[in-house]
Structure 1
Amino acid sequence: MPVPVDAGPKVPSLMAGRPAWAGRNFVLLSAATVIAGLGSNGAAIATSFAVLDAGGSAADVGLVSAARTLPLVLFLLIGGAVADRIPRHRVMVAANSVNCVSQGLFALVVLSGTANLWEMALLAAIGGTGQAFFAPAAEGMVLAGVSGEQVGRAFAVFRIGANGATIGGAALGGALVATVGPGWVLAVDSAAFAVAGVLRAFLDVGGVPERTASSGILHDLRDGWREVVSRPWLWAIVAQFSIVNAMFVSVQSVYGPLVADDHLGGAGPWGIALAAFGAGTAAGALLMTRLKPRRILLVGTLCVFPFALPAAALAVPVPAGWVTAIMFGAGISIEVFAVTWMVALHQEIPEEKFSRVSSYDWLGSLAMVPVATSLAGPAQDLIGRPAALWSCAGLIVLLTAAVLCVPDVRRLTRRRPAPATPEPTPPPTSAQADTSPHNAGN
Structure 2
Amino acid sequence: MTDTLVAVRQELVILRDRRFSLLFAARTSSMLGGAFGPVALAFGVLALPGATALTLSLVVAAESLSMVVFMLLGGVIADRLPRFRVMMAADLGAAAAWGGLAVLLITGWAPLWLLITLSAVAGMATAMFFPASTGVVPEVVPAERLQTANGLLRLGMNGARIGGLAVAGGCVALVGAGWTMVINAGLLLASAAFTAGLRLPRVVTPAAAQGSMLRDLREGWDEFRSRQWLWVPVTQFAFVVMALQAVWTVIGPVVANERLGGAKGWSWVLGAESVGMLVGVLIAIRVRPRRPVRLVVYMAFPLALVPLALGAGAPLLVAALVAFVAGIALDTLTVVWDTTLQREIPQSALSRVSSYDALGSLMLGPLGMLIAGPAVALVGAQASMLGSAVLIAVASLLALLSPGVRDLRWTTPVVPAPRTDGDAPLSQPAPTALVEAA
TM-score (norm 1): 0.88
Q: How does 1:226-237 map to 2 (within 5 A)?
A: 226-237=222-233
**In the TM superposition, what is the alpha-carbon distance from 1:42 to its structure 2 partner?**
1.1
**In the TM superposition, what is the alpha-carbon distance from 1:119 to its structure 2 partner?**
2.3
2-side partners of 1:229 and 1:350: how far apart?
A: 14
Q: Which amino acid aligns with 1:269?
A: G
Q: How does 1:70-219 map to 2 (within 5 A)?
A: 70-206=65-201, 208-212=203-207, 213-219=209-215
Q: Which amino acid aligns with 2:116?
A: A
**In the TM superposition, what is the alpha-carbon distance from 1:254 to its structure 2 partner?**
0.4
Matched, 1:36 2:30: yes
1-side partners of 2:30 and 2:399: how far apart?
A: 34
Q: Structure 1 343/379 Cα, relative in aligned 2: closer, same or farther at 3 Å?
A: same
**In the TM superposition, what is the alpha-carbon distance from 1:419 to its structure 2 partner?**
6.5
**In the TM superposition, what is the alpha-carbon distance from 1:246 to its structure 2 partner?**
1.5
Decide which of 291, 311, 335 is 2:307's aligned counterpart: 311
Decide which of 237, 251, 273 is 1:241's aligned counterpart: 237
Q: Structure 1 20/126 Cα, relative in aligned 2: closer, same or farther at 3 Å?
A: closer
8 Å CA contact retained: 2:148, 2:286: yes
**In the TM superposition, what is the alpha-carbon distance from 1:96 to its structure 2 partner?**
0.9
**In the TM superposition, what is the alpha-carbon distance from 1:80 to its structure 2 partner?**
0.5
Q: Which amino acid aligns with 2:43?
A: F
Decide which of 392, 400, 407 is 1:411's aligned counterpart: 407
**In the TM superposition, what is the alpha-carbon distance from 1:318 to its structure 2 partner?**
1.0
**In the TM superposition, what is the alpha-carbon distance from 1:298 to its structure 2 partner?**
1.7
8 Å CA contact retained: 2:224, 2:231: yes
8 Å CA contact retained: 2:344, 2:410: no
Q: Which amino acid aligns with 1:334?
A: L
Decide which of 323, 326, 331 is 1:327's aligned counterpart: 323
Structure 1: stretches of 5+ with no match in the other structure: 1-16, 421-442
**In the TM superposition, what is the alpha-carbon distance from 1:215 to its structure 2 partner?**
1.2
> SS of the residue aligned with 2:211?
coil
224-233 vs 148-157, which moves further: 148-157
Q: Structure 1 303/231 Cα, relative in aligned 2: closer, same or farther at 3 Å?
A: same
Higher Cα Rg, which structure: 1
Q: How does 1:214-363 map to 2 (within 5 A)?
A: 214-363=210-359
2-side partners of 1:113 and 1:175: how far apart?
A: 21
Q: Which amino acid aligns with 1:270?
A: W
Q: How does 1:55-70 map to 2 (within 5 A)?
A: 55=49, 56-70=51-65
Q: Structure 1 336/144 Cα, relative in aligned 2: closer, same or farther at 3 Å?
A: same
> SS of the residue aligned with 1:289?
helix
**In the TM superposition, what is the alpha-carbon distance from 1:114 to its structure 2 partner?**
2.7
2-side partners of 1:255 and 1:229: how far apart?
A: 34
8 Å CA contact retained: 1:42, 1:171: no
Decide which of 382, 385, 394 is 2:381's aligned counterpart: 385
Counterpart for residue 47 of structure 1:
41
TM-score (norm 2): 0.89
**In the TM superposition, what is the alpha-carbon distance from 1:179 to its structure 2 partner?**
1.5
Q: Which amino acid aligns with 1:275?
A: G
1-side partners of 2:13 and 2:100: how far apart?
A: 39
Deviations, residues 392-431 of structure 1 (Å, cap 9, x unaligned): 11110011111111112111223473569xxxxxxxxxxx
Q: Which amino acid aligns with 1:45?
A: V
8 Å CA contact retained: 2:250, 2:372: yes
Count of residues in correspondence between the two structures: 404
Deviations, residues 277-331 of structure 1 (Å, cap 9, x unaligned): 1111111001122222222112221111010111112212211111111111100
Q: Structure 1 269/21 Cα, relative in aligned 2: closer, same or farther at 3 Å?
A: closer
2-side partners of 1:258 and 1:61: how far apart?
A: 20
Deviations, residues 255-284 of structure 1 (Å, cap 9, x unaligned): 111110111001011012111111111110
1-side partners of 2:258 and 2:140: how far apart?
A: 50
214-223 vs 292-301, which moves further: 292-301
1-side partners of 2:229 and 2:239: how far apart?
A: 16
> SS of the residue aligned with 1:54?
coil
Q: After the TM superposition, which parts of structure 1 deviate over 4 Å for at least 4 consecutive aligned residues?
A: none
8 Å CA contact retained: 1:84, 1:211: no
Deviations, residues 170-197 of structure 1 (Å, cap 9, x unaligned): 1121220121111111000111111111
2-side partners of 1:128 and 1:198: how far apart?
A: 20
Matched, 1:24 2:18: yes
8 Å CA contact retained: 2:245, 2:366: no
8 Å CA contact retained: 1:297, 1:409: yes
Q: Structure 1 300/40 Cα, relative in aligned 2: closer, same or farther at 3 Å?
A: same
Decide which of 379, 393, 398 is 1:402's aligned counterpart: 398
**In the TM superposition, what is the alpha-carbon distance from 1:389 to its structure 2 partner?**
1.4
**In the TM superposition, what is the alpha-carbon distance from 1:21 to its structure 2 partner?**
7.4
2-side partners of 1:271 and 1:121: how far apart?
A: 29
**In the TM superposition, what is the alpha-carbon distance from 1:31 to its structure 2 partner?**
0.4
8 Å CA contact retained: 2:40, 2:177: yes
2-side partners of 1:280 and 1:339: how far apart?
A: 14
